[in-house]
Every structure is written in C-alpha cells, then in structure tokens.
Amino acid sequence: MRKNFFINMGLKSKLILTMSSIFILFSLVLFLISQNAQKRLIKEMEENIDDLTKAIQVSVEKLTSEEQKNPEVLKELIMKFKKKGINEISILSESREIIASTNPKKIGLIAKSTKDSDFLIKAELGVKSKEEYIKTINVPIIIGDENYGYINIVMHLENLTDIQKRNFYLRLFTTMLIFIFGTTIIIYLADKYTKPIHMIVDATKRVSKGDLTPIGIDISLGPEIKDLVVNFNQMIEKLKERQILENKIKKMEHIYQIGQLSSAIAHEIKNPLNFINLAIDQIKDELKQIDTEAKAIELLKAVGSEIDRINNLVHHFLEYGKPLKLNMEYINLLQLFKDIEKIIKTKTDDLNIKIDFNIDKNINFLGDKEKLAGCFLNLFLNSIDSIKSDGFIIITGMKKNDKIIIHFRDSGHGIPEMIAEKIFEPYFSSKDTGMGLGLAFTRKILIEHGGDIWLNKEYKNGAEFIISIPTNI
C-alpha cells in the first residue's frame, strides 16, 4: 500500500519528500552524534576529575613523607595518572621553589606565580589554554594550618582533543554518507523520469517519419509520465484514424474519377454494341430466307451472345454504384453450376481443364439466378485465366444450418499475399487488361443476398474462395 502511494505521487511531491527525508535524517544523525559526543566529553572530564582528586588525596601523604623527594615515587604517581593526560609532576616549597620533579631539569627553578595559589585544588579541565593542549595545575599541600608547599601538575588534554577530532570526522563521514545517499536517490529519480521522456522524444521522431506505433505503458511510471504516455498514444490513435480517413478520401476521389471516366467510356461502347447487335439480328433473318447453313447461323448466335455478355458487363459497370434490385426465385445450386459449365465447356475442353462438382443435388435456396450466375461465371473465368492449361477446378457445396457454404478451388498460380487484401476492391486488377470490377461486383451481389465471399489464405496450391449464401427457405 505504501509502495503504491509513493509510486502514485507526483514528481514534485516525490522530490520534496525525498529532500525533506534527507534533511530530517541528516539533522537527526547530527543531533545524535552531538549528544553522544557531549556525553562522552562530560564523562571523560568527570572521570578525570574524580580520578585526579582521589589520586592526589592518596598521594599527599606519600609526598609529605620522608620519601617526598624520591623521584621514583613521582614516577609511580605518573604511571597512575598517565591515562588521564598527566605527564609531569613537581613538588614546590612554600617559596615556590621546585624541590622535586619528574623532570630533573626543573629542580631548583622557581615556578611561575598563578592565581591558583589561593585554592586547595583548582583545575579547569577540558578548556584549551594558551599553552596549546597543556593545562598546568598548582595544588597546595596544607596539613593543619601549615602550608607545606605545592604540587605542580602539568596535564595534557590531548585525550579530550582526540574526542573532538573523532566527533568531527564522524560528523564529516556521516554528512558525506547522507549526501551520497541523497544524491543516489535523486539520480535514480532523475533517470527514472528522464528515461520515459527520452522514449517519448524518440516516439515523436518516429511519428514524424510516419511510424504510428504506440508507446508501451510501464505500470511503475509516475502519474505525470503515465498521463503523458496515455495522451501521446491517444494522439497516435487519432493520427491513425485521420490517416485512414485521408486514405479513404483519396481512394474515393480516385474511384470517383475512374468512375466518371469509365462511365463515359461505357456509354461510348454501349451505343456501337447495340448497333452491332441489331445488325446481327438482321443478318440472321436474311440468312434464314436464303436457306444458309445452320452452322453459320449458330456462329452468328454465338457472336450475339458474346455481344449480349459485353452489353451486360457494361450495364453492370454503370450500375455498380447503384443499389441492386434482386429478382428472387428458387434456385438449385448444382443445376446453377451445370448451366454455367455449359457456357465455358468449349474453352475448358480446349485447355484440358477438368471441372468436378461435389454438391448435394437437393440444395435449394432463394436468390437472383441471373446475378448469381454472373458471380460464379466470373470465378470460373478467373480460374481458367490462372490455370492456362492442364488443371482442375473443384466446387464443393454443403448446407450448414441456415447457410450454404461453397468452396471454389483451382490449381492455378494462386494470388500473391501482397495483393490478397485488395482483390475485392473496385477498380483493382492484377491483369493488364482487367477493369478491377469482377470480384468487387461478385462480392457486392453476394452481400446483397446476405452472404459473403473471402479468400482462403491457407490454401497454397492455387486459389480457393469460400462463399456463404443464406438459404432463405
């Protein structure tokens, strides 16, 4: 819960919290170090004073005895006081003449007068004197009402200075440690937040080059960066939608221009076709009157049929953009394909293309027979063009629930993957002489019937179209 709370905090809040935590931690550590140093210093001074007082009290008797001038006794005392910083002890007469000392060079010299002479024992321990780190203590020896002399003690305060030095280095080390810790956290936060910003910068460069790939969202990002990434991805999605819309508009403009041009051409073609068709009808009538051979008449009928097919093609071309009017009737699926086979039989026989039907003869449905025949005829003609010669076309039809599923498979060269998505688009053709309306019109007719057609991309030994048509019975 706390981790999620920190993650969801803003960058500004995180930095403030981090710096505040570092400041509090730093202050707390310095306070603890200072308190500890003060306690240690006070304890050290208290121990020095207590030990020194007790040692002097015990030693006064020895110093006033007959052995008071014995330097060995003084050395013994120094060994006791050594740990307390006392390096030198001297015994002064009432006239302040040094009569005994651990430093033989000072014997016979007169000690300097100090303000301490009025006190039994006076020592300001822990205060730095003018003599650097050395503190001189004069202790008068008074027994009864008689002053026997003074004890001159030179005390080095280096142990107290060491404590101060240790505290200084400890504070310095702690400060550096906290500074390094805080710097590391700040560097981590800076890297954590600048890295996704660099990622967004790289993404903007990709977008400027046309790459509209969204940025992946890391759940560990802060709220500001996460919102920035989300908004950036939304912008990319809108750019995608706009790009798709612009492509559609361009495509529609292109189709419109082609449609305008094609419509004009179609009208120009339709007029001479009508004239040729009328001329053929007149020739047939005249040939019948002069008893011409039936073969010539049949040939003219075939020419007329082809002209009718071209005329229908032009008609469909002109009607493509208009809603279709379906003339629904009962159709037997197998018979529909048999009728189409008769139209193309001469061509398939010449090219040695075998056609097989695997269709239940009892499959019936409602549909526009003429328009559906045109759809399937277009598929046959495309397969024949693809096979060239020596191949097969297999049509399988089955009823599945309330739909008829037809598999139209050939052994041609297939459809390349790069154009597979475009074959149903109007005016797209992979043929040099194609108009690009065959499959587009086929799909439109099937959709008007409530069905559809699509390419089976898994079939690699030619091309296979799958068609669905509702039975409507």
Tokens standing for residue 150: 């003074």
Specify the number of domains making up the chain.
Answer: 2
- Work out the number of other CB atoms within 10 angstroms of the CB of residue 145: 5
In a domain, 259, yes or no: no
Each residue's pLDDT tens digit, 102-127? 677 877 787 766 544 433 333 334 44
Which pLDDT score, from 0 to 100, does residue 336 have? Answer: 93
> Which CATH number does the domain housing residue 144 bear?
3.30.450.20
**Residue in 160, 161, 159, 139 with CA at minimum distance from that of residue 149:** 139
Tokens standing for residue 354: 């075998």
Which of the residue ranges 51-60, 170-179, 433-442 would you say has the lowest mean pLDDT? 51-60
In a domain, 206, yes or no: no
- Work out the number of other CB atoms within 10 angstroms of the CB of residue 163: 19
CB 172 within 8 A of CB 29: no
Which of the residue ranges 44-48, 201-205, 370-374 would you say has the lowest mean pLDDT? 44-48
Each residue's pLDDT tens digit, 58-95? 555 555 554 445 556 556 665 665 555 556 666 666 67
Tokens standing for residue 286: 């005249």
Average pLDDT over residues 188-215: 75
Q: In three state form, how does the secondary structure of 419-442 look?
A: HHCCCCCCCCCCCCCCCCCHHHHH
pTM of the full structure: 0.42
Which of the residue ranges 146-160, 328-342, 417-431 would you say has the lowest mean pLDDT? 146-160
| Beta-carbon contacts of residue 191 (< 8 Å; ≥ 6 apart) | none
CA within 13 Å, CB half, 463: 22
Last residue of a domain, one of 164, 197, 226: 164
Last residue of a domain, one of 164, 185, 214: 164
Which pLDDT score, from 0 to 100, does residue 125 have? Answer: 40
Last residue of a domain, one of 164, 187, 221: 164
Which pLDDT score, from 0 to 100, does residue 143 have? Answer: 56
Which pLDDT band, with edges at 50, 70 and 90, does 338 fall under?
A: very high
In a domain, 179, yes or no: no
> Is residue 356 pLDDT above 90, yes or no?
yes
> Which CATH number does the domain housing residue 408 bear?
3.30.565.10
Which pLDDT score, from 0 to 100, does residue 294 have? Answer: 64
Q: CA 211 to CA 38: how far, in whole Å?
A: 67
Q: Which domain holds residue 388?
A: 325-470
In a domain, 267, yes or no: no
**Residue in 378, 407, 421, 395 with CA at minimum distance from that of residue 465:** 407
More confidently predicted of 304 and 354: 354
Which pLDDT score, from 0 to 100, does residue 397 have? Answer: 94
Which pLDDT score, from 0 to 100, does residue 128 have? Answer: 43
Average pLDDT over residues 272-289: 70
> Is residue 409 pLDDT above 90, yes or no?
yes
Which pLDDT score, from 0 to 100, does residue 366 have? Answer: 92
In a domain, 154, yes or no: yes
In a domain, 219, yes or no: no
Average pLDDT value over all residues in the chain: 73
DSSP characters over 30-90: HHHHHHHHHHHHHHHHHHHHHHHHHHHHHHHHHHTSTTTT-HHHHHHHHHHHGGGTEEEEE
Percentage of the residues of the chain whose pLDDT score is greater than 70: 53
CA separation, residue 210 to residues 202, 239, 315, 317 (Å): 13, 10, 42, 37
Give, for 392, the enclosing helix (H) or strand (E): strand 391-400
Each residue's pLDDT tens digit, 233-276? 888 888 888 888 888 887 777 666 666 666 666 666 766 667 67
In a domain, 246, yes or no: no
Q: CA 313 to CA 375: how far, in whole Å?
A: 12
In a domain, 291, yes or no: no
More confidently predicted of 367 and 70: 367
Which pLDDT score, from 0 to 100, does residue 299 have? Answer: 66
Would you give the DSSP letter of residue 472?
A: -
Q: CA 14 to CA 2: how far, in whole Å?
A: 13
